[in-house]
Amino acid sequence: MRSKLFVPCSRPEFFAKALAGDADALSFDLEDAVPDSDKAAARLRLVEWLRSDAVLSSAKRMIVRINALESPFFADDLAALAGLRVDCVNLPKAASPVAVRMVAVQMEAAGIAAGLLVNIETPRGISQAAGIAGAHPRVVGLQVGLNDLFASLGVDRHDLRHVQTALWSIRLAAGEAARFAFDGAWPDLADDDGFRAEAELARSLGYPGKSCIHPRQVTIANAVFDKGEDVARARRLLAAAAEAGTRGHGAFLFDGAMADAPAVAAARETLRRAGEA
């Protein structure tokens, strides 16, 4: 999942366009993109769309960002997803493992088979991130929410030093629970270079992809997170390791550098993430 495009449920005219686009996943947004007065109507539009033949036949991942657990819209959002084609429920503003477990239990009770992608976008959430990631087997990963997090702390959103600190912390928390961490959205549509720089930073920290708020950003994300070269290199390294093993060598020269067990493990992890393991 290199790219995940947010699609506001207040704008149903975008649904088909998004489905026909290049994003690997679509995240239909019932939260921030929808005013309170339109929540109920937006929810009905989404349900109708998710029941359509176009969605049912699509290979894209379908994600729905519902409203927060504490909001008056949460229960209706969750109930509406029962029986629909949804791969992940995206929970915003998660603040504790207890809250995440509550949502997971309610999903089970409602018969929603989707995974749970949990946003880390509050100071408390980031301090509890490892526990949140491992709170329930339904949790598939953590999603970064820097806009809310940084705004609440007065942190400069455009300073990559601050971004790296947050991404690293969330990546470690997800890794501790053997979950993935997914990068959040870049808000400045006029700054493609800023989006690309943040995406490249996330990729270097082991993030598989980035959220997008415009199709133009999808093109950048798909290019940055394309793992083709990494996969090819991992295959070559494992082949070299096998050959070295036949000679009784635990360490070997690969592409001009010494490689040993950690490098082999990293190559296997690259292939696992690419779906080849």
Q: Are residues 128 and 31 in the same domain?
A: yes
202 or 250, which is more confident: 202
Chain centroid to CA 16: how far? 22
> How many domains does the chain divide into?
2
Q: What is the pLDDT of residues 31-89, one digit of tens each?
A: 999 999 999 999 999 999 999 999 999 999 999 999 999 999 999 999 999 999 999 99
Region 195-224: mean pLDDT is 96
Q: Are residues 196 and 239 in the same domain?
A: no
> Is the CB of residue 142 less than 8 Å from the CB of residue 189?
no
Q: What is the pLDDT of residues 219-231, one digit of tens each?
A: 999 999 987 667 7
- Residue 259's pLDDT band, with cuts at 50, 70 and 90, is confident
Residue-by-residue DSSP string for 10-38: T-GGGHHHHHHSS-SEEEEESSTTS-GGG
Res 277: pLDDT: 31
What letter represents residue 269's amino acid? E
Res 228: pLDDT: 65
232 or 226, which is more confident: 226
Q: Are residues 239 and 125 in the same domain?
A: no
Which of 217, 161, 223 lies closest to 185 in space, CA to CA?
Answer: 217
What whole-number distance in Å separates Cα of residue 6 and Cα of residue 22? Answer: 13
- DSSP-derived letter for residue 183 is B
Q: Are residues 260 and 139 in the same domain?
A: no
Q: Are residues 240 and 112 in the same domain?
A: no
Which of 101, 153, 105 lies closest to 127 in space, CA to CA?
Answer: 153
Residue ranges making up the domain that contains 259: 229-273
Flag whether the pTM goes above 0.75. yes
Q: What is the pLDDT of residues 88-103, one digit of tens each?
A: 999 999 989 999 999 9
Q: What is the pLDDT of residues 138-161, one digit of tens each?
A: 999 999 999 999 999 999 999 999
Region 166-185: mean pLDDT is 96
Q: Are residues 196 and 262 in the same domain?
A: no
Q: Are residues 155 and 215 in the same domain?
A: yes
Q: What is the CATH number of the domain that holds 37?
A: 3.20.20.60
Q: Are residues 222 and 235 in the same domain?
A: no
267 or 174, which is more confident: 174
Note the maximum CA span of the chain.
70
Contacts of 2 (CB under 8 A, 6+ apart): 24, 208, 209, 210, 221, 222, 224, 225, 226
Residue carrying the six token digits 């509550």: 102
247, with CB counted inside 10 A (0-12, 13-18, 19+), is exposed
Q: Are residues 125 and 112 in the same domain?
A: yes
Q: Are residues 264 and 174 in the same domain?
A: no
Q: Are residues 269 and 143 in the same domain?
A: no
Whether pLDDT at 265 is above 80: yes
Res 252: pLDDT: 81
Angstrom CA distances, 74 to 43, 79, 126, stand at 11, 9, 22
Q: What is the pLDDT of residues 4-28, one digit of tens each?
A: 999 999 999 999 999 999 999 999 9
Q: Are residues 165 and 125 in the same domain?
A: yes
What letter represents residue 148's amino acid? D
3-state secondary structure of 102: helix
